Amino acid sequence: MTNVIVFVPGRVELLGNHTDYNEGLVLGAAINRGLTVSGGFRDDGMIKLDSSLMGQVEIAATDLSPQTEATWMNYSLGVHRELIDSGLADEGFEARIEGDLPAGSGLASSAALEVATALFLLKLHRRQLPAMELAKLCQRAEHRFVGVRSGLLDQVMSIFGRADHLILFDARSEQVQMIPFSRELAVIIASSGKQRELADGDYNVRREQCYDAARALGVRALRDVSSADLNRRTDLDSLLRQRARHIVGENERVERAIQLLAHRKAREFGELMNESHQSSQENFENSTPELDLLVELARKIPGILGARLTGGGFGGAIVALCDREKADAAARELQSAYRQQTGIQSDMFACEIGPGAS
């Protein structure tokens, strides 16, 4: 059996929460944790997925319809469907999925699985796609097969990642820019122990509210609105104003963050992360009591400069910016403090800013 192995990292979003589908700016990075997919062709018309975390499923390759029980496999099946429709794949296969990326934690494990499946199948079929086309194919699979109207953020971060660099992604122009990340800094990922399931609808509801706000403001997307513009529009529905305030503020925070990083102002960058989380609480309402507690605890720990939820929210994880030399100790202290308050033993770790898919 032909054997192919691919690795795709998870991603962390440092600033730019829910801005991607609003044609805005995102600042994130690939991390040194992710998923490995390995395997080869099958000649019996079957697809077998074997996950060390989620279990084993086998279906006929002709049965490419969304699964209602082992829903995790829809991310892989949806990608296979897109590749078939594009004339890039047509056979059964088996794949072993392993990794150290917690599912449902807000680190884009679903996008990592999509990208890893796509690269695995392309390699098997000896085909290639340009990086941005690959990201868009995986996004289409999530839209059409999984039912989450996600932006391109997660796939772009996992594909374009570079060690010791943040990624500035302009979702309107689809430009990707590398921003050097100081070796004196590290990021801590702290899982709340509460998984998120974006297909349940909260993500799609927020997306539609953002689109409603843009229409009410008479713009193509919330990317085209400034805080000053928003303050002048006193006629806007109060809920839509909250949603718009979050997106507009996030875009402005990303722009300020780029300047701060260029001048090595890490503490001020951390303050922007704090502001971002407050906006998630008050304006976008995509935080949870567990995420709020983690952020509160993190900010009290020596060496941590700022903290916020990362990813879609509604559960998952937070990200904290930390002095590198204190990062491992800070992660352990945060894990202990969170366990004492909640009884939840969840995954918390300092991580490197790593390379993209390989």
Just list the catalytic residues.
Answer: 154
Cα–Cα dist 216/234, whole Å: 12
Q: Which residue has the tokens 């400069």?
A: 305
Identify the three-state secondary structure at position 62: coil
Residue 84 and residue 90 in contact, taking contact as beta carbons nearer than 8 Å: yes
Beta-carbon count within 10 A of 183 CB? 10
277 dihedral zone (left: phi>0; alpha: psi -120 to 50; beta): alpha
Cα–Cα dist 210/205, whole Å: 9
Radius of gyration of the chain (CA): 20
What is the maximal distance between C-alpha atoms in the chain?
A: 65
What one-letter code names the amino acid at 158? S
Q: Is the dihedral of CA 137, 140, 146, 149 positive or negative?
A: positive
Cα–Cα dist 72/54, whole Å: 8
